[in-house]
Chains A and B, each alone.
Chain A
Amino acid sequence: MAHATDTSTGTTRRDFLMLATGAAGAVGLGAVVIPLISQLAPDAQTIAAGAPIDVDLAPIAEGQAIKLFWRGKLIFVRHRTKKEIDEAKAVDIATLRDPQTDEQRTKPGHEPFLIIYGNCTHLGCVPLGNAPGDPKGDFDGWFCPCHGSHYDSSGRIRKGPAPLNLPVPPYAFTADTKIKIG
């Protein structure tokens, strides 16, 4: 047997070959998995439909709120009353579960407008508090009927099982009463 005489080099070569083949197989397998998994992610059309949108705030009277959809997610736009703004500002943020000041959640000079996502941070239900007859919870904000979370007039979690404040979506004022969400 020829290879019995040069075991060392033969073994090395065979080891290398096995390793290279194994590595090539692993790379191939990995490459196959990429399309199989990434198809689960949002598709191009879904992403495109999620482009920024413009909203005119002028028609929303003080004390009123509107709901709108962006990226399939609900957004609340509330024109807050003086009382609600004062209440939101008066809170000692050290007492909050998710400490944030009202200033961090609104744009300077545009305090009356609160723009937040409208799905409870607990399990995604829609809190009540936009329509005139809705319960607004114990803090003049929103009340989630599913598991009883209360949000204040700045959309911050004050009571109940939700862990976080209602998040503020990315947006900017493009004019005095116009915003671009996204």
Chain B
Amino acid sequence: MSRTSFRLALTGLAAGLSLALFQPAAQAAEGGFKPPQLSWSFSGPFGKFDRAQLQRGFKVYKEVCASCHGASLVAFRNLSQPGGPEFTPGQVAALAGTYQIKDGPNDQGEMFDRPGRPADRFPSPFPNEQAARAAQGGAYPPDFSVLAKARTYERGFPTFIFDIFTQYQEQGPDYIHALMVGYEEPPAGVTLLPGQNYNKYMPGHLIAMPKPLSDGQIEYPKGPDGKAPVPETVDQYARDVAAFMVWMAEPHLEARKRMGLQVMAFLVIFAGLLYYTKKKVWSRMPDGSPAH
């Protein structure tokens, strides 16, 4: 077989597989607008979280979202681990102490409340899904622990193939941010039932959650000049909380990307060495004659 047709076969297979591989995942934006693609500090092969942003995002979560949304897989201690918001262990212990955690049973066989410890997980706002639904008019506020990975929108062909090379994978935070800023008056012809709200980016546009954020609602820590380093707007709150949610869903993202770089560098060098070894080995046949 000639070399060209071999190459043809190889590229054909590669192209074919890359086409077949990557079906669009679950659709979040069906019949909606595509969320705008934002630039995130943690995207790309060298991506890292912006500590200050995660700390602000935590503040938004704690002061607004946490009244309805749990994050039951995240422990207080995670807030001080490397690659996250990196609060100091002292701050984390103090924070955990402000929560009451149900523990027990004690010697009398009763459950009791005690102050939280860093090893405790965030307490959920509702004891169970039914209680949440009962309190929220039938809608269930989803848990935030992995939500940033559980939300996406249709990328479509051929964008999803380009995503392999651009490493775009921030559908989750883009969608979350878009949802926060996507509340609108319903267009003519759409009537809202009680408990429904209109959101441009929600699949189907009807969402039970009322607009959660408004400008100036959360006070960010002031910089040395006495002003908050970022604007206190819905857009900024949404970015910060979305980034925080990505960290909650993928707490080892930084370690993963860092190791990825090391592994890639090693493999490329190793492959290079192997390539020349292979060439050397194949330059002579077993009887010592030249290969061709």
Contacts and interface: CB of A to CB of B under 8 A. Distances in A.
Contacts, number: 5
A133 interface: yes
Contacts of B193: 132-133
Contacts of A132: 193
B206 interface: yes
A133 B202 CA distance: 14
Nearest to A131: B138
A132 B191 CA distance: 13
Nearest to B206: A133
Contacts of B196: 133
Nearest to A133: B206
Interface string B201-232: 00010100000000000000000000000000
Interface in B169-204: 193, 196, 204
Nearest to B193: A132
A133 B196 CA distance: 10
A132 B208 CA distance: 13
Nearest to B138: A131
A133 B193 CA distance: 9
A132 B193 CA distance: 10
B204 to A, nearest CB: 8
Contacts of B204: 133
A104 to B, nearest CB: 34
A127 B239 CA distance: 36
Contacts of A133: 193, 196, 204, 206
Interface string A123-134: 000000000110
5 contacts: A132-B193, A133-B193, A133-B196, A133-B204, A133-B206
Top 3 closest pairs, chain A to chain B, by CB? A133-B206, A132-B193, A133-B193
